[in-house]
Structure 1
Amino acid sequence: MTKKEIFLHHLKGKNLTYKRYTKSPLRYGGGKSLAVGLILEQIPSDTKRLISPFIGGGSVEVAAALELDIEVLAFDIFDILVNFW
C-alpha cells in the first residue's frame, strides 16, 4: 500500500466517506477539512509538489505535506492569513 492509500484508509469515516482532518490549526470559513480525503484521492500518487492559490485554513495543504510528504507552495490574497502560515 502507498502512503496515500494508508492515509485515506485511516481517514475513512463511519457515517461519512471521510472524517474531518483536524491537524490544521485554523478553522476557516469555506474550509475543506471534511473534503481532504476526497480532494487527495484526485491527486496522482507520483505528485511531488502541490501549488495552492487559496490556502485558507490549510487542511488539504497540511495533509499533503505531513501525511504524504508533498512539497506545498501556498498563496492567498488575505495578507494576515499568509503571514500566519
Structure 2
Amino acid sequence: MTRDKLVFNEKALKALRKHPAVIRDLEKRARRIAAAAGGEDMGYKVTVLELEDPRGAVSVMATGRAAAHNRKHNSLMRAIDAGR
C-alpha cells in the first residue's frame, strides 16, 4: 500500500497568516473574547502584534484589575467561545 505525501507551500502559508483579511478576522474574534471576559473598561486590551514574524498575531492582554480578575476567575479561557 502506498502512502501519499502531503506537502505544504510554506511561502503561501506565511502570506496567508499575514493577509490583512485574516488579521482583521483575528482582531474581531479577539475583541469579542475581550468583551465577553469583561471589556476594555475592566482592563482587557486587544493588540495586533504586527512585528511578530513569521506569523501575524492578535493578543488579548489583561492589565491592572483585569489581570487579577483573570487569575481568580480564569475569565479569558471561559470567554474563548465568544471568538468562534
TM range (shorter): 0.3 to 0.5
Query: Which structure has the greater CA radius of gyration?
Result: 2
Using structure 2 for the length normalisation, give the TM-score: 0.33
Give 1 or 2: higher helix fraction. 2
Using structure 1 for the length normalisation, give the TM-score: 0.33
